[in-house]
Amino acid sequence: MRVNKFAASAIAVAACGSVAVGVAGPSLAAVNAPDPDMSHVLPATGPRTTAAVHQQLDAVGQLGEALTLVSRIGKEAQSATPDVEALKDMQQRLRSAANRLTDSLRQSPPGTGRPAAAPGDDVQELLKKLQKAIEKLIAAAAQKDSAGVEMAITEALTVVKDLLAKLPMPAEASSLPAPLPL
């Protein structure tokens, strides 16, 4: 029996197609399959109120804003010609963000991962130390004292590290690595 080129090509395509469907078939079938039940794998979380979630998100936002400002202040202070007015403006914004963070932590209910004896005083003390470190940093930058700038940045980063360790974290965030890299 003779097979022409067209028939041979058609047979090859059909064979390759059936192999492709055989290999990819389970994957293609799983595309429209319902998601597997992961309730036995994920930790059970109780119902949380919307207000508590918003409060936590607000505290995280204020902390993020404060950390961003510390970073900007440090970078500006290390520049060849630091703009002291811009540093003072960022310092004022940092002070406002720190006040809002303190307010958010104070209003946060204990049921959202916060211990019953809230570390509010510790956090406030650390925020005050951070403000003092930033004041030293700006003073050193104004005097163009590079050693003083480096020392103040090191002090500010140490306070930030302590601050991150003292802030209450929700139970769901306990999977984060203990020492957060800075």
pLDDT digit string (tens) for 48-99?
A: 567 777 777 777 788 888 889 999 999 999 998 999 999 999 999 999 988 8
| Structural domain span for residue 154 | 50-168
- pLDDT confidence of residue 114: 44
User: CA–CA distance from 88 to each of 101, 102, 108 (Å)?
Assistant: 20, 21, 30
Q: Tell me the percentage of the chain whose pLDDT exceeds 70.
A: 58
- pLDDT confidence of residue 134: 93
The pLDDT confidence band at residue 41, using thresholds 50, 70 and 90, is very low
* 83 occurs within a structural domain: yes
* 101 occurs within a structural domain: yes
- Within 13 Å of residue 38, how many CA atoms lie on the same side as its CB? 5
Q: What is the mean pLDDT of residues 166-182?
A: 54
CATH number, domain with residue 76: 1.20.120.290
* 144 occurs within a structural domain: yes
* 7 occurs within a structural domain: no
**Token output for 42:** 């994920």
The pLDDT confidence band at residue 136, using thresholds 50, 70 and 90, is very high
* 12 occurs within a structural domain: no
* 45 occurs within a structural domain: no
Give the count of domains, the chain. Answer: 1
- Rounded mean pLDDT of the chain? 74
pLDDT at 106 over 70: yes
Task: State pTM to two decimals.
Answer: 0.60
* 115 occurs within a structural domain: yes
